[in-house]
Amino acid sequence: MELIALLILLPLIAALFILFSHSNILQYLVTSTVFLVSSLSIHLFAFPIPSITFVFSSSLETILVIFDVLLLLFFMYQGHLFRHRLVFGLALLQLLLYLLVEANLGSGDGFSLLMDRLSVMMSLIINVVGGIIVIYAIAYMKDEMISPFKKRLFIAYLLIFLSVMNMIVMANSLLLFFFLFEMTTLASYLLIAFRNDELSRTNALRALWMNQIGGVVILMGTLLAVTQFDTVYFDVLMSHSGGYLLFAIALFSMAALVKGAAMPFDGWLLGAMVAPTPVSAMLHSATMVKIAPFMILKFAPVLAGTLLGGVISISGILVFVAAAYTALSKEVFKEILGYSTIALLGLIMSLAAIGTEDSIQLAMVLIVFHALSKALLFLAAGVLEKVHHVKSIEAMKGLVQYAPKSVFFIIFGFMTLTLPPFGLFMGKLFALQAVSENLMHSPWQIIVLLGIIIGGVLLTLLYFKVVSALLSKESDLQVAQSETLLLGFSIPLLLLSVLIILASLWLFKTHSALPMSYLLVPLLLLLVIPLSYRMLEGFDRTTEYHCGEKETFDSALFYFDMSASLVRAMYWVFGLLFVGIALAGVLS
């Protein structure tokens, strides 16, 4: 229990020290805190303990209820302050539902934490990957045109975010989970609005009202649990059967889709791109959106073999395909990474909702490797933005000539998404096998199988598009002697790269029957591609009919233009599927 308390309290204590300390010791405070919480998470993962439950005292329970009400009142105030009716209305609706739930609670109901295998794995991702992002954020914020206090405030926000995430993956009480869910909504609102300009505020308000939809359905599910099953605990709720159980789980699953930015709620996550890059990395890789697959995995044993599980799985795989296709029409690098994240989250949730032992294991594997690879790519994107002032695919042409280190990390990141022995490739490969073997029992999974194939091809095409831009060469471009990266940038990138390699080798060795020769493919590419471009440096391309004139070739400039009618139709489909999850919960 002491270890669990430290995971929650250490980031909070560090955040308070950072706010009231001198900026010179910021690096030491953050590094030591990250080291401690990461070490604790690794220890819990390496030496698993039996599932344990911790119940809050009644006084602490009262304090948390007060904070919950104050939080909803703050959201209402923000809606009033910025004249945003949706924000105000959804916050008011949540407050009314919350008071209704409280009025129906029994005297023995309270708040509790549950540490199990899933929460240990999630805590490992949150503290290791999230911690590396916080360390990176110190270097990133150094030359921001803001006061030293506001820089420290930004780092404090990120540490508090880690603490909240550590608690939410252990929450066993539905009301505690709701409070922490809304705390993550508050964190995303504050972080997206951090630069305090009009665009940041607009996107932050969009994130606020969309995520509040998730809060509304959580409270509706909690009200069902309280009135129909006389419980506010996840484990007790899932021990029941029949009645409105699957309807309650359907409501919680809808909240997962909102938090995971599944279409039609992708707008809030894409809007987060206006915030400093560490925010994008934190939301997309290590923390915020991981609540979505976490929730589906939590309910996976109950979803197995049900109509509800099938509808969630099909919805997730369609998001995988649609988001991958949408990404091909985008030109801003972080936006491409954002849609790629939404796509892969859809795949993970689809596998989790199937509910078999194999599909659950695969979903957990994909969560780990997605966090590592996407963190690496977003941090590298931050280097491009901060050091080289590059944000779009168009501006990446010739980048390999003057930013070879940054380009290497990006190419390596994409390789970890598409090639063996890296975990995301292996996970998708095993997913094809697992779904294929289950077709006799569940023919509807042919949709999932086809979705994995089509979405995988689209994402590979997307990664090829970006890498082609990075490796394009212009002989007329002035080539820099060397690229210098700050240690605050290079160390996090190297740490993530090493972690990906070690984790992938472990997965390949323990879970794969493929020959070790598969390991040579990515290693050779890593060596051959830079060498080939170094050998070709300074050469122009020409053809026999161009009279010696230089020929330009750009394999990166292909786009899939999506018409407005196609976008509207796609969002209508996903909106209907979102409502269909609730209907499936009633009919299951």
DSSP 393: S
Alpha carbon distance 153, 146 (integer Å): 11
Q: Answer whether residue 375 shows pLDDT above 90.
A: yes
Q: Answer whether residue 510 shows pLDDT above 80.
A: no
Distances from the Cα of 429 to the Cαs of 208, 326, 425, 443, 512, in angstroms? Answer: 37, 23, 6, 19, 10
Lowest mean pLDDT among 341-350, 393-402, 544-553: 544-553
Residues in the chain: 588
558-579 pLDDT, tens digit each? 556 777 888 889 999 999 999 9
- Give the distance, in angstroms, between the CA of residue 418 and the centroid of all CA atoms in the same chain: 18
Please say whether the beta carbons of 49 and 115 come within 8 A. Answer: yes
Q: How confident is the model at residue 398 (pLDDT cuts 50, 70, 90)?
A: confident
413 versus 425: which is more confidently predicted? 413
Q: Mind giving me the DSSP string for 427-438? A: HHHHHHHHHHHT
What residues does 309 pair with on adjacent strands?
none
Q: Which of 533, 500, 263, 200 lies closest to 377 in space, CA to CA?
A: 500
Tokens 């002035």 map to which residue?
478
Q: Which of 367, 341, 346 lies closest to 128 in space, CA to CA?
A: 367
Tokens 């993962």 map to which residue?
45
Joined tokens for residue 189 = 């609102």
Joined tokens for residue 183 = 């705390």
Q: Answer whether residue 165 shows pLDDT above 90.
A: yes
Percent composition of the chain: helix, strand, coil (DSSP 3-state, to 5) = 75, 0, 20
Please say whether the beta carbons of 88 and 128 come within 8 A. Answer: no
Alpha carbon distance 471, 396 (integer Å): 9
Q: Which of 156, 135, 153 lies closest to 281 in space, CA to CA?
A: 135
Q: Which of 138, 133, 136 lies closest to 153 in space, CA to CA?
A: 138
Joined tokens for residue 266 = 């992708």
Please say whether the beta carbons of 277 and 554 come within 8 A. Answer: no
Lowest mean pLDDT among 351-355, 524-528, 546-550: 546-550
Distances from the Cα of 326 to the Cαs of 318, 343, 451, 570, in angstroms? Answer: 12, 10, 15, 10
88-105 pLDDT, tens digit each? 999 999 999 999 998 888
Mean pLDDT of 552-562: 57
Mean pLDDT of 506-535: 62
**What pLDDT sits at residue 71?**
96
166-222 pLDDT, tens digit each? 999 999 999 999 999 999 999 999 999 998 889 999 999 999 999 999 999 999 999
Hey, where are the domains in the chain? 304-561
Q: State percent of the chain over pLDDT 70.
A: 88
DSSP 392: B
Q: Answer whether residue 533 shows pLDDT above 70.
A: no
Q: Which of 239, 235, 259, 247 lies closest to 165 in space, CA to CA?
A: 259
What residues does 502 pair with on adjacent strands?
none
**What pLDDT sits at residue 220?**
96
DSSP 332: B
Q: Answer whether residue 288 shows pLDDT above 70.
A: yes
**What pLDDT sits at residue 518?**
59
**What pLDDT sits at residue 477?**
47
| Alpha-helical regions (H) of 47-168 | 58-81, 85-104, 117-140, 148-168
133 versus 53: which is more confidently predicted? 133
Distances from the Cα of 370 to the Cαs of 342, 344, 374, in angstroms? Answer: 11, 8, 6
Alpha carbon distance 114, 96 (integer Å): 28
313-330 pLDDT, tens digit each? 999 999 999 999 999 888
Please say whether the beta carbons of 342 and 285 come within 8 A. Answer: no
Alpha carbon distance 86, 73 (integer Å): 14
pTM over 0.75: yes
| Alpha-helical regions (H) of 230-276 | 234-238, 245-259, 266-271
Lowest mean pLDDT among 51-65, 93-107, 384-398, 456-470: 51-65
CB proximity list for 311: less than 8 A, separation 6 or greater: 577, 580, 581, 584
463-491 pLDDT, tens digit each? 888 888 887 765 444 555 567 788 889 99
Please say whether the beta carbons of 137 and 276 come within 8 A. Answer: yes
What residues does 173 pair with on adjacent strands?
233
Burial (CB < 10 A; 0-12, 13-18, 19+), residue 526, is middle
Please say whether the beta carbons of 302 and 585 come within 8 A. Answer: no
Alpha carbon distance 364, 156 (integer Å): 29
Lowest mean pLDDT among 141-155, 469-483, 492-506: 469-483
Q: State percent of the chain over pLDDT 90.
A: 48
Mean pLDDT of 96-117: 82
Joined tokens for residue 26 = 């910021």
**What pLDDT sits at residue 134?**
95
Alpha carbon distance 375, 392 (integer Å): 19
Lowest mean pLDDT among 53-62, 65-74, 263-272, 565-574: 53-62
CA quadruple 289, 291, 292, 295: dihedral, nearest 10: 170
Please say whether the beta carbons of 574 and 317 come within 8 A. Answer: no
H/E element holding 115? strand 112-115
CB proximity list for 116: less than 8 A, separation 6 or greater: 51
Separate counts of helices (H) and strands (E) for the chain = 23, 2
Joined tokens for residue 253 = 């699953």
Find which of 111-125, 135-149, 246-260, 282-296 is predicted with most confidence, using mean pLDDT.
246-260
Alpha carbon distance 520, 528 (integer Å): 12
> Helix (H, G, I), strand (E, B), or coil: what is residue 171?
strand
Q: Which of 59, 28, 53, 225 lies closest to 138 in space, CA to CA?
A: 28
Tokens 């499936």 map to which residue?
584
Q: How confident is the model at residue 542 (pLDDT cuts 50, 70, 90)?
A: very low
